[in-house]
């Protein structure tokens, strides 16, 4: 008899566990940004990341000199740089997100940028000072909101960035696409170099990643990278991440994680 009761108990427990497995997985909210741990760790602590920034800005200097010699207009010369993860390092914000599990919000972001405490990315200040020594102005085109202008200039000025003034900063008003703002700079200046961690920082044609992640567009412009376009590493976030979500919005953190995994390809798929 005792044996029967035991078997029934085991079966009942198995049934309960089966039912539970069909329920959505409840994720501990404090861990929902855990997916950012490795990328943020790499960004903050890998010497390779630091070296890549130096490599990019060293190359930018060489290309600036070459592009200056090939410049063909009477317009004053300029370099255009993005701000976040290009000249300013916001990884402490990402690290805070990992540790607290708090989802991204404008309020939280503004709390961070309001401190005007971001550090310069490696080599960025030297590059822009070098450009200034060659008579080249810097324009900062960023998708920070215009409401963040004062704190952003305060941050850039405190670090000694050249041209950190109202005339040289174009933040986001209505669209994150930067074409109109780039064109505005082009009206008065010849742009010799564009630097950014998102390829949308260079040209609108890179915004469309609907076909093959946008790889073909990059391949078609491969000679521009290092020459006119200087790319900085940012594995923490970016437009690139959205290719995994296939245009879907309002996904839960769990759904996003699943879709990220589905977008990977493994060696077994390679064999097919
Ligand atoms: Mg950026």
Q: What are the tens digits of pLDDT across the range 195-212?
A: 999 999 999 999 999 999
Is the pLDDT reported for residue 41 higher than 60? yes
Query: What are the sequence ranges of the domains in the chain?
Result: 33-237
Residue 128 near residue 162 (C-beta atoms within 8 A): yes
Q: Residue 226: its pLDDT value, please?
A: 98
195: CA distance to ligand 1 center in Å?
9
Is the pLDDT reported for residue 14 higher than 90? no
Alpha-carbon distance of 80 to 227, in angstroms, equals: 14
124: CA distance to ligand 1 center in Å?
13
- Report which DSSP code applies to 81: E
- pLDDT band at 6, cuts 50/70/90? low
H or E element at residue 219: helix 215-220
Alpha-carbon distance of 58 to 128, in angstroms, equals: 11
Alpha-carbon distance of 259 to 26, in angstroms, equals: 17
147: CA distance to ligand 1 center in Å?
17
- DSSP result, 183-212: HHHHHHSEEEEEEESSGGGT-GGGS--TTG
Cα–Cα nearest to 136, from 61, 226, 37? 61
26: CA distance to ligand 1 center in Å?
33
Is the pLDDT reported for residue 13 higher than 80? no
The per-residue pLDDT of the chain, averaged, comes to 92
20: CA distance to ligand 1 center in Å?
42
- pLDDT band at 268, cuts 50/70/90? confident
Mean pLDDT of 146-150: 98
- pLDDT band at 29, cuts 50/70/90? confident
Is the pLDDT reported for residue 49 higher than 70? yes
Residue count of the chain, please give it.
Answer: 272
Span 90-109, pLDDT tens digits: 999 999 999 999 999 999 99
Q: Residue 18: its pLDDT value, please?
A: 46
- Which CATH superfamily does the domain covering 33-237 fall into? HAD superfamily/HAD-like (3.40.50.1000)
191: CA distance to ligand 1 center in Å?
18
Q: Give the tokens for residue 68.
A: 């200056």
- Report which DSSP code applies to 239: G
143: CA distance to ligand 1 center in Å?
8
83: CA distance to ligand 1 center in Å?
6
């Amino acid at each position: 008899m005792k044996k029967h009761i035991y078997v029934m108990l085991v079966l009942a427990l198995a049934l309960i566990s089966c039912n539970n497995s069909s329920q959505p997985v409840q994720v501990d909210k404090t861990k929902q940004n855990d997916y950012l741990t490795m990328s943020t760790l790499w960004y903050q602590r890998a010497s390779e990341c630091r070296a890549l920034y130096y490599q990019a800005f060293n190359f930018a200097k060489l290309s600036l000199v070459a592009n200056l010699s090939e410049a063909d207009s009477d317009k004053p010369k300029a370099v255009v740089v993005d701000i976040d993860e290009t000249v300013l390092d916001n990884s402490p914000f990402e690290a805070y997100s990992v540790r607290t599990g708090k989802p991204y919000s404008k309020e939280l972001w503004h709390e961070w940028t309001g401190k005007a405490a971001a550090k310069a990315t490696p080599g960025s200040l030297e590059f822009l000072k070098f450009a200034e020594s060659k008579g080249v102005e810097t324009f900062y085109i960023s998708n920070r909101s215009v409401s963040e202008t004062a704190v952003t200039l305060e941050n850039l000025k405190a670090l000694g960035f050249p041209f950190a003034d109202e005339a040289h900063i174009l933040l986001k008003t209505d669209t994150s696409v930067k074409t109109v703002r780039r064109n505005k700079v082009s009206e008065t200046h010849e742009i010799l170099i564009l630097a950014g961690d998102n390829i949308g920082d260079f040209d609108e044609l890179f915004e469309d990643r609907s076909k093959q992640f946008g790889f073909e567009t990059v391949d078609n412009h491969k000679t521009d990278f290092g020459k006119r376009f200087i790319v900085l590493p940012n594995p923490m976030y970016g437009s690139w991440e959205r290719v995994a979500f296939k245009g879907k919005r309002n996904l839960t953190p769990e759904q996003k994680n699943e879709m990220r995994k589905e977008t990977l390809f493994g060696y077994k798929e390679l064999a097919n």
